Structure 1
Amino acid sequence: MTTAVTATAPVPVPVPDTGLAARSEVREWARRAGALSPVLAVIALLLVPGGGGAQGGTGGSGTVADAASGLLVLICLLRVVRGGARPLTRAAAVVLGLPVLGVCLAAITSNDPGASLPGVARYLQIFVLVPGAVLVMIRDRRDFAVVAWGLVGLALLEGGVGVLQFATGTGASYQGADIRAVGTFGATDVMGMATVVAYGLVIAAGLALGGRAGSRGRTAALVCAGLLFVPLVLSFSRGAWIATVLAVGLQLLLSGPRRAARVALAGAALGVVLVGGFGIGSDMVKERVTSITQVTAAPDQSVTDRYTMWAAAGRMWRSEPLTGVGLKGFPAYRDSNASLALSSGSDTAGAGAAFARQPLLSPHNMYLLVLSEQGLIGLLALAGSWAALLVAALRRRRRGADCALVAVGLLSWQLIDFFYADIGGPSTVLMSVVLGLAAWWSLAEVRDA
């Protein structure tokens, strides 16, 4: 007896169409970029060279990016009115609205309320309106990623211009040579490119540390972080260096001790190769790093000026401890409170600009600027808002490693950098976008897609 064997056709195994999936992903990113175009426009328009300089505090004229930020707020307001839903949670409204208290009180109690009005508009733009608009525009974690990568893209473009300036001797003047990388911001805003590049590096580090192992996004973020290291070094910005090292160090610790050790070793090796091996500004970088510790032992004039203005800000605060001397009041009260060690200004030249003497209109320390102009009430309101954002971001870090590390990194970078810088200059509007990005993670209802 024989058994018949019935032949069966092999079951076809479906082969995924990777090309179709890739095209679908590109269309999805394009759709989201279109919805977020008001935010991305603010980022992109920072590439346009504009006026404003690096006037400290709330000085300087507006730029096209500032105009775009106003349009962003208007578009967001129209969307909220048409949607009819409450745009912010109660916690978000309180945290983002807290700075309004100190700003308005300082303007009302100012000796010259009329002169303080531009300062009110600037503070509300940077710390309330634009961050709130960015928070409302971002709907989920993919939108967060679109804005984050937009910031990284801006950093790469500005950093590329900065490296070219160093290589060709067309940057801002530094120690008698036009080699300081400043990007499109010019010699009057030497912190502009450094800030943008630092933002991009911190974002890339957060995306790389929080991304899935082996994913293309994580690899791209690692490459971007490595590329941005070079223009950050060539910016010769001591404050940006310190803030970046500490912010990325915090991100590493939050991602795990073992990973922190491995990445720290890799970063140190990269620094040795680029600065030591290839000699990328090695002597000047060494001198700049050494100058950080030269506070009392033969400091350079910039350090002397900074500490002199810090002392002047302290004297202003002691004269009006609760409400300060008024918004935009620091320049008016500077000379009567500063010692003779303060120079008449800082020299700027290069990057397409002629030699100019730039006046010192702020203490280059955000906390002391707010304390002197808005008093203790203003400082508690502003710093309390920033601290609440950071605490909320840390509490949510287990809900999404990549977003959490980006938000915590950006907030910690900004709070550290505020010890060496304040608002002023064309790059300031980008700070409001960064605060809005971090505020979404800290305060909004987080959705994956």
Structure 2
Amino acid sequence: MALALPSRRPRRLPPVLPVLAVVALLALPVPAGGDGAGPADAVSALVVGYCAVRLLRARRRPLSRRAAVVLGLPVAGVALAAMNAVSPGAGIAGLGRYLQIFVLVPAAVVVLVRGRSDFRLLAWAFVALAGWQGAIGVHQYLTGTGASYQGEDVRAVGTFGAVDVMGMATAVSFGLVCAVGLALGRAPVRDRLVAACCALALLVPLALSFSRGAWIATSVTVTAQLLLAGPRRALKAGAVAVAACVVLVGGFGVGTTMLQERIDSIGQVTDAPDQSVTDRYTMWAAAVDMWRDRPLTGVGLKGFPEYRDGHASLALSSGSDTEGAGAAFHRQPLLSPHNMYLLVLGEQGLIGLLCLAGGWLALLVCALRGLWRAHALGSRDLECALVACGLLLWQLVDFVYADIGGPSTVLTAVSLGLVSWWSLAGADRVTPQAGTAVPDPSEPHARKAALR
């Protein structure tokens, strides 16, 4: 009698791989003279289509009711603002961009991420992208081949070029936040040690990006992650971070004169602001003035450049200069207020801001609720909670100094997808770690233990 050998089923690839492709494509150089979109944006559209096909074949509801409401909330404000746009073309273009970044790509990530392993895979992909972009940025600084800053080509911009100077800073910041969250979690010691080393290494390119907004957002976020991980871990990690900064600045001489001047300028934004800060204040005032004219609906999508000159004061310059990193001198027009909240308020009015910011607030509440649950159950999902809360907090703080635009914007969409998965799906699947006693959340001792 012949024994039948068990047949091996072919191993299926995880459905999250197309999202990984979007992150990987951001490592490629940005085509010169582009319209602000890159190959990653095109692939993100394919990811949304791929997700739709999978759902149609499976014949199942893609999102829960809560997820559909939270992710679909921005649609109402954006659609209304698109109807009030200065032209049909501008309305359609703006509608597509907002839906891509804040609705479609995040929803696709929520559907394609199946669990903690896929979440960790994407988080490590963020760290890898940050390492690649950071390495290129450090090389640009050392060789004088970066973007122009104070007359020298030393600003680290990675592969994003001089036009999108915030691109590398955003990618490195996301990677650093992910690395800190992974290091503070309950993964094996080796994984946490590697993540901590990556976080410390990413401090160098982040400093050399000369991006004050990224510095502030990262400092606030990492501090919050340390506190959310527990006071004991916060003290240990804080001591390591201080020691690393002392070594980097004192031992390796990272603190150059230009870097010190850039740090000092953060405290001079009200007393003696430079021209870039003056332009930003002027554009903020212009956006508020647009909102006052049309408080509910705003001036319409893509309307800020059209209405800017009629609302801005004479203190606004004609634009900013960009040069270096392989690009010739170019005068970059100021087409947005560099504040996402005021941009939405001016173009979409109070309705649009409430819809968009309301969705972010709901995600933050759900993410923190899941974090508390992971603490209480002693779950390994803690690292997912810390990464998700960190990414969302970083974005909310950075939006005070920046808005969407450029090839790096699709990375914001993927990060919001990770946040949405944890807030709307992963937080409800938290399970206790094997061998861990489950405390009763109603007991005061259990609540104190969860915060240690």
With normalisation by structure 2, the TM-score equals: 0.89
3-state SS of the aligned residue for 1:210? Answer: coil
3-state SS of the aligned residue for 1:47? Answer: coil
Larger radius of gyration, structure 1 or 2? 1
Task: Find 1:313's aligned residue among 277, 283, 287.
Answer: 287
1:48 paired with 2:28, answer: yes
Q: Which residue of 1 aligns with 2:159?
A: 184
Q: Is the 8 A contact 1:171 1:351 kept in 2?
A: yes
Q: Is the 8 A contact 2:91 2:302 kept in 1?
A: yes
Q: Which residue of 1 aligns with 2:304?
A: 330
Superposition deviation, residue 258 in structure 1: 2.3
Amino acid aligned to 1:170: T
Superposition deviation, residue 366 in structure 1: 0.2
Q: Which residue of 1 aligns with 2:420?
A: 439
Which moves more between the two structures, 123-132 or 280-289?
A: 280-289
Superposition deviation, residue 265 in structure 1: 2.4
Superposition deviation, residue 108 in structure 1: 1.5
Q: Which residue of 1 aligns with 2:326?
A: 352
Mapping of residues 407-422 of structure 1, within 5 Å: 407-422=388-403
Structure 1 residue ranges without an equivalent (≥5) = 1-30, 55-59
3-state SS of the aligned residue for 2:184? Answer: helix
1:406 paired with 2:387, answer: yes
Deviations 1:181-232, CA, capped at 9 Å, x for gaps: 10000000110000000000000000101134x5221111111101111100
Which moves more between the two structures, 284-293 or 348-357?
A: 284-293
Coordinate RMSD, CA, aligned = 1.6
Deviations 1:24-79, CA, capped at 9 Å, x for gaps: xxxxxxx787532210110011122224879xxxxx34211000000000000000
Task: Find 1:219's aligned residue among 193, 201, 215.
Answer: 193
3-state SS of the aligned residue for 2:70? Answer: helix
Q: Which residue of 2 aligns with 1:263?
A: 237
Q: Is the 8 A contact 1:62 1:426 kept in 2?
A: yes
Superposition deviation, residue 286 in structure 1: 1.5
Q: Which residue of 1 aligns with 2:175?
A: 200
Q: Is the 8 A contact 1:53 1:425 kept in 2?
A: no
Deviations 1:405-424, CA, capped at 9 Å, x for gaps: 00000000000000000000
**How far apart are the structure 1 equivalents of 2:254 and 2:124?**
27
Task: Find 2:343's aligned residue among 357, 369, 389.
Answer: 369
Deviations 1:75-130, CA, capped at 9 Å, x for gaps: 00000001111110000000000000000011123343442110000000000000
Which moves more between the two structures, 124-133 or 286-295?
A: 286-295
Superposition deviation, residue 281 in structure 1: 4.0
Q: Which residue of 2 aligns with 1:389?
A: 363
Q: Is the 8 A contact 1:171 1:179 kept in 2?
A: yes
Superposition deviation, residue 259 in structure 1: 1.8
Q: Which residue of 1 aligns with 2:134?
A: 159
1:448–1:318 distance in 2 versus 1, CA, 3 Å: closer
Q: Which residue of 1 aligns with 2:8?
A: none
**How far apart are the structure 2 equivalents of 1:393 and 1:419?**
21
**How far apart are the structure 1 equivalents of 2:267 and 2:88?**
40
For CA contacts below 8 A with separation 6 or more, give which structure has more relative contact order: 1
1:246 paired with 2:220, answer: yes
Superposition deviation, residue 309 in structure 1: 0.5
With normalisation by structure 1, the TM-score equals: 0.89
Superposition deviation, residue 280 in structure 1: 1.3
1:288 paired with 2:257, answer: no
Amino acid aligned to 1:172: A
Mapping of residues 96-135 of structure 1, within 5 Å: 96-135=71-110
Task: Find 1:39's aligned residue among 19, 22, 26.
Answer: 19
**How far apart are the structure 1 equivalents of 2:100 and 2:181?**
27
1:247–1:52 distance in 2 versus 1, CA, 3 Å: farther
Amino acid aligned to 1:426: P
3-state SS of the aligned residue for 2:328? Answer: strand
Structure 2 residue ranges without an equivalent (≥5) = 1-10, 375-380, 432-452
1:69 paired with 2:44, answer: yes
**How far apart are the structure 2 equivalents of 1:82 and 1:367?**
39
Task: Find 1:79's aligned residue among 51, 54, 75.
Answer: 54
Question: What percentage of aligned pairs have identical amino acids?
Answer: 66
Amino acid aligned to 1:441: W
Amino acid aligned to 2:174: Y
**How far apart are the structure 1 equivalents of 2:13 and 2:321?**
41
Amino acid aligned to 2:113: I
Amino acid aligned to 2:51: C
**How far apart are the structure 2 equivalents of 1:441 and 1:82?**
25
- Count of residues paired in the alignment: 413
3-state SS of the aligned residue for 1:349? Answer: strand
Q: Which residue of 2 aligns with 1:11?
A: none
1:52–1:89 distance in 2 versus 1, CA, 3 Å: farther
Q: Which residue of 2 aligns with 1:341?
A: 315
Q: Which residue of 2 aligns with 1:140?
A: 115
Superposition deviation, residue 175 in structure 1: 1.0
1:33–1:312 distance in 2 versus 1, CA, 3 Å: farther
Q: Is the 8 A contact 2:173 2:214 kept in 1?
A: yes
1:425–1:111 distance in 2 versus 1, CA, 3 Å: closer
1:163–1:81 distance in 2 versus 1, CA, 3 Å: same
**How far apart are the structure 1 equivalents of 2:69 and 2:311?**
35
